[in-house]
Amino acid sequence: MDYQKILNEISEEIKPYLNEGKVADYIPALANVDPNQFAMSITMFDGTQYSVGNADTLFSIQSISKVFTFTLALKYYSTDLYKRLGHEPSGNPFNSLVQLEYEHGKPRNPFINAGAINVTDALVSHYKDEDIAYKEVLEFIRSIADDHTIDSNPVVSASEMEHGFRNISLANLMKSFNNFDNNVNEVVNVYFKHCSVEMNTKMLSRAMLYLANHGVDPITDKTYISTQQAKRINAVMLTCGHYDASGDFAFHVGLPGKSGVGGGIVAVVPKMMGISVFSPALNAQGNSLVGTMALELFTNKTGFSIF
């Protein structure tokens, strides 16, 4: 299959839609991003990469980082993790407080904000220190992407903290239900730091390979997690990876995937490749509008949906 030709076609076909959608504006550092950008990369099991557009441009991975923290928490806590949080779709906006109150402080899944902050709390408990927890998350991301230049943007994380009222509320609500171990501000600070990690589509598509290959990196042969844990993460990506638009993403794209409000999306074609797209303008549910469209075009053209 001529992957480069397919990516080039996609980048032409999405052009008329680049002005639709709205860049995340809850912090100035994200609101100032140029909405007209587009990038898409795929990484095959032998390391071959195909890209189109601004594939070297670094962007804020935001909620894509929740896949990486969930991976580490599952590795250390195994099924005990589900005492703290569930694995069902929320059907609610990513930062909703209402459902958390109704459900006694137990977040629906690790990919809504409450769930991801709870996972970060579990990691701070595991590493017994918030700085070490953040460093280990970063080291894990560098390892799966095989790129040691990756780092967090301190301007973005500081700005997230300054405007973090709702996320801090979610953490406090969980704490009030005794479903939170550590200091709220310290944990939320680690959460914002891992959300503010910057990567490009080449790095992110490379980083997805362990999930496309049952937990083992097909290039380095490193085992990160068990086959069963990889299955679980892919399942939660499929059912919860796009917040209240997860059903829509499965319907149109048909791959396990995770979006971030920075405009990135990662997706997994099992036993074949990792994919990442980037386009900062978002749809009403906070997922990259053109990015979702590009992934739909990709699975339509290749037939590589899991269904």
Binding site for ligand GLU (CB under 6 A): 62-63, 94-95, 113, 160, 167, 195, 260-261, 286
Nearest distance in Å: CB 185, ligand GLU = 14
Nearest distance in Å: CB 216, ligand GLU = 28
Catalytic residue at 243?
yes
Catalytic residue at 15?
no
Contact of 290 with 262, CB cutoff 8 Å: no
Nearest distance in Å: CB 94, ligand GLU = 5
Nearest to 58 by CA among 39, 42, 76, 86: 39
> How far apart, in Å, are the Cα atoms of 172 and each of 69, 166, 269?
20, 10, 37
Cβ-Cβ contacts under 8 Å for 55 (sequence gap 6 or more):
39, 40, 41, 200, 201, 202
Catalytic residue at 191?
yes
Nearest to 213 by CA among 133, 137, 277, 272: 272
Q: Which is nearer to ligand GLU, 3 or 243 (CB)?
A: 243
Contact of 130 with 186, CB cutoff 8 Å: yes
Catalytic annotation, pick one of 127, 134, 191, 210? 191
3-state SS string for 131-189: HHHHHHHHHHHHHHHCCCCCEECHHHHHHHHHCCHHHHHHHHHHHHCCCCCCCHHHHHH
Residue 44: phi, psi to the nearest 5?
-85, 170
Nearest to 116 by CA among 41, 198, 61: 61
Q: Which is nearer to ligand GLU, 111 or 127 (CB)?
A: 111
**Could you tell me how far CA 133 lies from the centroid of its own chain?**
18
Q: Which is nearer to ligand GLU, 163 or 252 (CB)?
A: 163
Q: Which is nearer to ligand GLU, 47 or 91 (CB)?
A: 91
Q: Which is nearer to ligand GLU, 171 or 216 (CB)?
A: 171
Catalytic residue at 22?
no
Which residues does the annotation mark as catalytic?
63, 66, 191, 243, 261
